[in-house]
Amino acid sequence: LREMHVRGAGLIGASAGYGMYLGTIEAAARPALAGFDQHLASAAAQLKATRPTAVNLSWAIERQLKNIAEGKTAEEKIALALGTARLIAEEDEEHCRMIGQHGLNLIRQIARKKAGKPVNVLTHCNAGWLAFVDYGSATAPIYAAHDSGLPVHVWVDETRPRNQGSKLTAWELGEHGVPHTVIADSAGGHLMQHGEVDLVIVGTDRTTYTGDVANKIGTYLKALAAKDNNIPFYVALPSSSLDWKTRDGLKEIPIEERGAEEIKHADGWLEGRQVNMCVTPEGSPAANYGFDVTPRHLVTGLITERGVCQANEKSIRALFPEHAP
C-alpha cells in the first residue's frame, strides 16, 4: 500500500480487508488471546498510516475490527476476518458494476443529442478496474456505454507525477477497445473551451457527506474549467468512499504528501527496458501533494451504486438514509 504496488480507492479498501485477515492470523498465533487485541490494533494502525487520504482504507479496517471482535476463539476470529475480506471485495465489484449502469444513462442522454458522433469524456488519473476489484468507478460508465454500442471517446489526462492516466487508464481503455487520446494535464481546459469535451467523470479517494471531493491532484483545476465552460462534472464512487464524519473537506481531509523524487524523476521505456531519469535540476526542491479537494459547488453530481445524486448533504443522505444523523 505505502509503495503503491496496489492503489486506487476500492483496491486500497479490499487490500486492507485482506491485510487485516493476515493480521488476525498473526495475532492468533500468539501464545494466548490476551495479546490478540493489542497485536491486531497495532496491525490496524500500521495499515491506516499507509495512505491517509483514502477513506476506504479506514472504512475497511474498522469494519474488520468490528466483525473480528464477535469471534470467541482464534479460529472464529480468523474465519470472520476472511469472510469479511471476501465480502468487501465482492461488494466493491458489484457496486462498481452498478455505478456503470447509472452512469450509462448520463452518457446515453448526451449521445441522443450528438446524432451518432462520439461522446467525448474527460477523466483524470486512474479510477478503472486497476484501481478497484473490477469495472472501476469513473471508467465503469464508459465501459458500459462502449459495450452497449454507444460511440464514446475518452480524453485521458497523463496525471503527473506518477502518470496513472497515461500508464494505466490508457492501457485499460486500449485493452477494452475504447477509443481514447492521452493529453497533457494542462490541456483539458483548452479542449473544453473548444467544445471537445461533453462530460467529465472522475473518481475519488474520499468524499464528505456534504459533497466535497478529494481526488488526485489536478482534479480541482478540471472542475474549475468544467464550471467555466458549462460542462457537467461528475464524480463516480462506491459508498465505501463516502466519509460520514467529515463536514468540511478543504479544512479536514488530510492531504498525503509524497516524496520529492516522484516530481523530480520520470519513468519511461527506452529500447524495451524501463528507465528512470531526472527531469529537474538536481538542486531544485520539489513539493508533491498527492490530492486536492474539489468543493461541492463545482460538482454536478455523484454517481453511486444506488443512483445519481447532487453533491450536498440532503441529497447524499436521501440516497443513504441509514447514515442519517
> Mean pLDDT throughout 36-65?
85
Q: Position 222: which residue type?
A: K
Tell me what pLDDT residue 33 has. Answer: 65
Give the residue, 310 or 11, on which the prediction is more confident. 310
Pick the CATH number of 9-90 from 3.30.450.20, 1.20.120.420, 1.10.3720.10, 1.10.540.10: 1.20.120.420
Rounded mean pLDDT of 130-145? 93
| pLDDT given for residue 64 in this prediction | 93
Alpha-carbon Rg for the chain in angstroms:
20
pTM of the model: 0.89
Domain 96-323 has CATH 3.40.50.10470: yes
Q: What is the pLDDT of residue 48?
A: 85
The whole-number pLDDT of residue 59 equals 84
User: Domains of the chain: which residue ranges?
Assistant: 9-90, 96-323
Mean residue pLDDT of the chain comes to 93
Would the pLDDT of 134 be above 90?
no
pLDDT at site 34? 65
**Residue count of the chain:** 325
pLDDT above 70 covers a percentage of the chain that reads 98
When pLDDT is averaged across residues 71-75 and rounded to a whole number, the result is 89
Same fold, 9-90 and 96-323: no
Q: Which member of 185, 198, 205, 212 is catalytic?
A: 205
Would you call 205 a catalytic residue per the annotation?
yes
CB 292 within 8 A of CB 214: yes
pLDDT tens digits, one per residue of 173-199: 999 999 999 999 999 999 999 999 999
Mean pLDDT of 111-126: 97
CB-CB contact of 43 with 35 (8 Å): no
